[in-house]
Structure 1
Amino acid sequence: MDELAVKLIKRADTLKANRQVHESVWRECYDYTYPLRGAGLSDEVLDAQSAKHKVAKLLDGTATDSARMLASALMSGMTPANAQWLNLDSESLPDDAKAWLSECATLVWENIHAANFDAEGYEANLDVVCAGWFVLYIDENRDEGGYTFQQWPLAQCYVTSTRKDGIVDTVYRCYQLTAEQAVKEFGADKVSKKILDAAKNKPDDKFDFMHCIFPRDTYAVDARLARNMRFASFNVEVSGKQIVRESGYHEFPCCVPRWMKIPGGSYGIGPVYDALPDCKELNETKRMEKAAQDLAISGMWIAEDDGVLNPRTVKVGPRRIIVANSTDSMKPLLTGADFNVAFTAEDRLQASIRKIMMADQLQPQDGPAMTATEVHVRVALIRQLLGPVYGRFQAEYLQPLVVRCFGIAFRAGVFPQPPESLQNANFNVRYISPLARAQQLEDVTAIERLGMNVQNLAGIDQSVVDLVDTDEATRVVADALGVPAKVIRSSEAVASLRDERQKRAAQAQQQAMVMQAGTEAAGAAGQTAGAALGRQLAGG
């Protein structure tokens, strides 16, 4: 028994107790969207078969479709695979340093999407929409190189924070391995005798393990030994109460963003939580509609027990003869159901769910093609809806992701040799994703409106054009639209190009003046010769 292992297990129990009060809420959110993803949040063993029964109880797929649409919008808006969404920049650096940072950013982006990020990232966004948080583990792929990403199931993760800003920096993950997997992962000399015996006799028996990641109180910058790194990592065998691996990380290896923080805790809730009352009411309305639909299709009858007709034995169906004393002994009975009420209620609830989860704005609009003004208004609305969420995700998701990936690549020697001008320089991460650019479209709109107004005023006073720095305005627009840096010339290149143009214009003007002077001289000589010839003819 290891004393540190016992301490870690005890703290994990505390974190489990702190999280338990929220689990029922998350479980309900998953039950009305993606039941299988909520596996482990209850005592019920949830597998594909039992999840199928939960899905069958969902009588309307509006919440599921809206959650999928919002998760896709987050993925494509923040970290698209088809466009670079990050850059490294600094205003005070020369062009060679900026070019190096831009090249490094491109390498990081390419390697992120060359790994399994797109698959794991989408599932992570599904969790943040349903439960309001997720855990994405980032590490180096030691077998094939590059990065590897793991979206840890929420049921396995217990998180907290030691930071003043509340950003998660401590993760305890409880998981299971078979005896065979445990021996292969940690080595026969690290696991307990119980697991060694099971690996020989029952290799598929599962055992509980725990992965603990938290910041160290004392650490060494750029440490080579894992136990001296900034973040500690311990893998614990729970049954044997012993540490099977001690390691560490230079950067926090997990991204744990929250859609909206639960006050006084480290966990979050998602948009499905806000739509949960409507989801429940819609499912209940659908259930009543199905019951009324059954009556409307099969019908309802009233019969009189008159000694000839026994209602308890009568079965209504095609090609059946029912013996009765009279035709009044058995009659159809109106159900009293009004489907219009159900349809109206369903439309209202479906619209409410889509509005809460922003699916009414994110999905393509039916009808004729929108004008440029309509597109701008819609983009502005989406920006207002997702802007606050993007701000939190930038601090809790994108920043840790880029820092971790940049650190791994830098230590692996992937980047080219940095220029000397970058020594001791400060630089920052600049996000150029579609969602980030959408927040900058106000600048583009303002510049476009200013250009139109200046053009109108220039008809009255041409000097008004001098107020606008067109070079800087073009750079601001290009930056907001995400135009690649290699498309825009540097200030030095622009100055050189303009100097060359002025020289060519001056040379052309000088040549024109020389040609004009020659033409005038030739004309004058012709006039002089003509005059002399005229005098000669007159004298003769």
Structure 2
Amino acid sequence: MNEQLQDGDLAKADIRNHDRLKSMRAPWEATWQEIDERFPNGAGGFKQQTPGQIRGARNYDTTHISANKRFAAAGVAITTPEEKQYIRVKFHDKDLMKSRMVQLWCARASQRMYEIRHAVHTGFNVAANEDWDQLGRYGTSPMFVDGKPGRGMSYQTLHLSEVYIDVGYGGRTDTVHRLYKKSARQLEEEFGLDALTPKMRDALRQPGKENTEFDILHVIEPNRSWDREKLDWRRMPIVSRYLAVDEKIYLRRAGFFTHPIPVSRHATSAGEIYGRSPAIDQMPTIQGVNAMRNTLLRALHKAVDPAIMFSNDAGITKLVTRPGGLNPGLWEDGRPMAGRMPGGENGIPLADNAIEQERAVIRIEFLEEFYKILTDPNSRMTTTEVLEVMAKQGVLVRPFASRYATEKQDPVSQRELDLCIRYGQLDPFPPEVLEAGAWPHMEYENPLASMARAERVTKGMRFVEAITPLAQLDGGAVLDYIDYDTMAPGMAEDIGVPPEWIRDQAAIAQLREQREEEKRAAIEAEMLKAASGATLDFAKAGQISEAA
């Protein structure tokens, strides 16, 4: 145990603050427990269950489960599609981005960041899908982003059951408490033997006790003692403390330059800290569909295996309506003594229709129509029509996607850039960047970004299409309104054309000068040909005169 790390008052303050965060989260936990019961793939966090117990036993309909899987798949596809190089490293300074050296550095850095993120050992693809899956269920999802020299980046979506959050002045999550259990053996692996508490060491010394678990509270919050001149954790804007809760002993006190656990929320109402999910919003509908489906299953069972009526009651005095039940109730001529009350003859078709209507509501909330557009594109559309459809469909996801970009994509990107630059994973900055003191940022050239920019590109193309017929009336003078030199690179950037595919200004100027020279040479050749023809004509005319 490192005595220099210990601060009894701070440990008590951390525990008091954690109790405050627990009380803030408590009203949500009953809702999340119901979510765990209805969505069995996420059970085990808030819904305590016996190991091996069947999950989701109350479900008679699984529309919401498949809808959430598609929601997660669509979320990953429009934000971080693995099959496409979607990362673009840039600088905010537009003049700086005009430099060819800076453009090429950004292109190389973009490819490098994509390769680092999607390397197999990082676990990013798994974490991204779990992140969107958790957003669909709970509406709030934390992701742990870390990296070490020689080991690369690592990504892990944390289950919400072990995470407690608070927000800063601007409403963004800046404080994260993670309460989790680890065995003494695992803690020695993570922190080293010297950092462990007396109880942990005792557990390691006793054979068979090394797997004894301990509660660890990881506190991540803004550093209120931030001092850039210090050489310890105080020089970092974000503090990190690992506290053994039972003994109130710190295992490690450190810090981060960028937040290691970005927390995104699907949607929030004013004053809410935790997010609301499609599952939360549609829970009444999900429960209703399950109730109707349960009734329909019983009705179908009765229809396939109806109760049987017979003439001898054999002492039976009550009706048995379950499938296959035996009931007295036939006259000697075979007519039933009791008949069914009127109504319900068309119950099964009506129930099917009602259930399907409710299922449609659930699918809409989980953006299944948007998922279909991603998986079933209409290849017969023109480029302009595709862009228009993308712009319209972007309206469906923009409210959620904008929040995700702000709360998850940007913090994760800044964390990655910070670690990669500090660990020398990218090329050195060009001299222009060093002189400007600029810092890069990452943009995503993914379907979501394409949807956001599709409207501007579509308007430009529509404008060109609209005035082109007019050019035939005035000899093309109306086309002077279009600045093609600005429009072409702008559309290339909006569409996401790699910068190395676009010629720089010097190359373009050289090509244009070459074309002008070729035009001048062609004109001179035509003039020379015309002059030679005229001379030949004059000569022939003179010969004719002499002959005459």
What TM-score results when the alignment is normalised by the length of structure 2? 0.87
C-alpha separation in 2, matches of 1:345 and 1:62: 14
The structure 2 residue matched to 1:473, chosen from 476, 487, 490, is 487
Find the counterpart in structure 2 of residue 70 from structure 1: 71
The structure 2 residue matched to 1:353, chosen from 355, 362, 365, is 362
The structure 1 residue matched to 2:464, chosen from 443, 451, 473, is 451
C-alpha displacement of 1:360: 2.5
The structure 2 residue matched to 1:388, chosen from 396, 399, 403, is 399
The secondary structure found in structure 1 opposite 2:528 is helix
C-alpha displacement of 1:124: 0.5
C-alpha displacement of 1:78: 1.2
Give the letter aligned to residue 469 of structure 1.
Answer: D
C-alpha separation in 1, matches of 2:534 and 2:75: 73
Deviations 1:211-250, CA, capped at 9 Å, x for gaps = 1111111324497634421111111111221001111111
Give the letter aligned to residue 71 of structure 1.
Answer: A
The secondary structure found in structure 2 opposite 1:233 is strand
C-alpha separation in 2, matches of 1:254 and 1:316: 54
Per the alignment, do residues 370 and 215 of structure 1 end up closer, same or farther by CA in structure 2, a change over 3 Å counting?
same
Give the letter aligned to residue 118 of structure 1.
Answer: N
Find the counterpart in structure 1 of residue 352 from structure 2: 343
Per the alignment, do residues 13 and 456 of structure 1 end up closer, same or farther by CA in structure 2, a change over 3 Å counting?
same
Confirm or deny: 8 A CA contact 2:76 2:132 kept in the other structure.
Answer: yes
Find the counterpart in structure 2 of residue 424 from structure 1: 436
Find the counterpart in structure 1 of residue 85 from structure 2: 83
Give the letter aligned to residue 190 of structure 1.
Answer: A
Find the counterpart in structure 2 of residue 203 from structure 1: 210
C-alpha displacement of 1:40: 2.6
Per the alignment, do residues 248 and 314 of structure 1 end up closer, same or farther by CA in structure 2, a change over 3 Å counting?
closer
Find the counterpart in structure 2 of residue 538 from structure 1: none
C-alpha separation in 2, matches of 1:366 and 1:216: 49
C-alpha separation in 2, matches of 1:18 and 1:301: 57
Give the letter aligned to residue 155 of structure 1.
Answer: S
C-alpha displacement of 1:407: 0.4
Confirm or deny: 8 A CA contact 2:21 2:165 kept in the other structure.
Answer: yes
Confirm or deny: 8 A CA contact 2:107 2:500 kept in the other structure.
Answer: no
Confirm or deny: 8 A CA contact 2:387 2:458 kept in the other structure.
Answer: no
Confirm or deny: 8 A CA contact 2:35 2:279 kept in the other structure.
Answer: yes
Give the letter aligned to residue 117 of structure 2.
Answer: I
Deviations 1:149-205, CA, capped at 9 Å, x for gaps = 1111100000112x3211111111011111211122222222222222222321222
The structure 2 residue matched to 1:410, chosen from 412, 417, 421, is 421
Confirm or deny: 8 A CA contact 2:145 2:260 kept in the other structure.
Answer: yes
Find the counterpart in structure 2 of residue 183 from structure 1: 188
| 188-197 or 334-343, larger mean C-alpha shift | 334-343
| 188-197 or 115-124, larger mean C-alpha shift | 188-197
Confirm or deny: 8 A CA contact 1:87 1:101 kept in the other structure.
Answer: yes
Confirm or deny: 8 A CA contact 1:26 1:38 kept in the other structure.
Answer: no
C-alpha displacement of 1:424: 2.7
C-alpha displacement of 1:263: 3.3
Q: Could you list the runs of 5+ residues in structure 1 that have no partner in the other structure?
A: 536-540
C-alpha displacement of 1:333: 6.1
C-alpha separation in 2, matches of 1:329 and 1:305: 13
The secondary structure found in structure 2 opposite 1:234 is strand
The structure 2 residue matched to 1:15, chosen from 21, 25, 31, is 21
The secondary structure found in structure 2 opposite 1:494 is helix
Deviations 1:350-386, CA, capped at 9 Å, x for gaps = 1111112221332258899764487556433320011
C-alpha displacement of 1:305: 5.6
Confirm or deny: 8 A CA contact 2:227 2:234 kept in the other structure.
Answer: no
Find the counterpart in structure 2 of residue 103 from structure 1: 108
C-alpha displacement of 1:326: 4.2
Give the letter aligned to residue 110 of structure 2.
Answer: A
Confirm or deny: 8 A CA contact 1:30 1:131 kept in the other structure.
Answer: no
Confirm or deny: 8 A CA contact 1:300 1:334 kept in the other structure.
Answer: no
Confirm or deny: 8 A CA contact 1:133 1:259 kept in the other structure.
Answer: yes
C-alpha separation in 1, matches of 2:249 and 2:315: 78
Confirm or deny: 8 A CA contact 2:302 2:323 kept in the other structure.
Answer: no
Give the letter aligned to residue 152 of structure 1.
Answer: L
Instruction: Point out the structure with max Rg over C-alpha.
Output: 1
Matches within 5 A, 1:481-520: 481-520=495-534
Confirm or deny: 8 A CA contact 1:78 1:85 kept in the other structure.
Answer: no
Confirm or deny: 8 A CA contact 1:127 1:133 kept in the other structure.
Answer: yes
Give the letter aligned to residue 21 of structure 2.
Answer: L
Number of matched residues? 524
Give the letter aligned to residue 85 of structure 2.
Answer: A
Give the letter aligned to residue 211 of structure 1.
Answer: H
The secondary structure found in structure 2 opposite 1:439 is helix
C-alpha separation in 2, matches of 1:316 and 1:329: 21
C-alpha separation in 2, matches of 1:425 and 1:262: 39
C-alpha separation in 2, matches of 1:352 and 1:78: 25
RMSD between aligned residues: 3.1
Find the counterpart in structure 2 of residue 92 from structure 1: 95
Confirm or deny: 8 A CA contact 1:133 1:267 kept in the other structure.
Answer: yes
Matches within 5 A, 1:125-274: 125-142=132-149, 144-161=150-167, 163-199=168-204, 200-201=206-207, 202-221=209-228, 225-274=232-281
Give the letter aligned to residue 94 of structure 2.
Answer: E
C-alpha separation in 1, matches of 2:319 and 2:479: 95
Deviations 1:43-73, CA, capped at 9 Å, x for gaps = x2364x23x342x322112111211112111
Per the alignment, do residues 440 and 368 of structure 1 end up closer, same or farther by CA in structure 2, a change over 3 Å counting?
closer
Find the counterpart in structure 1 of residue 3 from structure 2: none
Confirm or deny: 8 A CA contact 2:35 2:137 kept in the other structure.
Answer: yes
Per the alignment, do residues 97 and 366 of structure 1 end up closer, same or farther by CA in structure 2, a change over 3 Å counting?
closer
C-alpha displacement of 1:317: 11
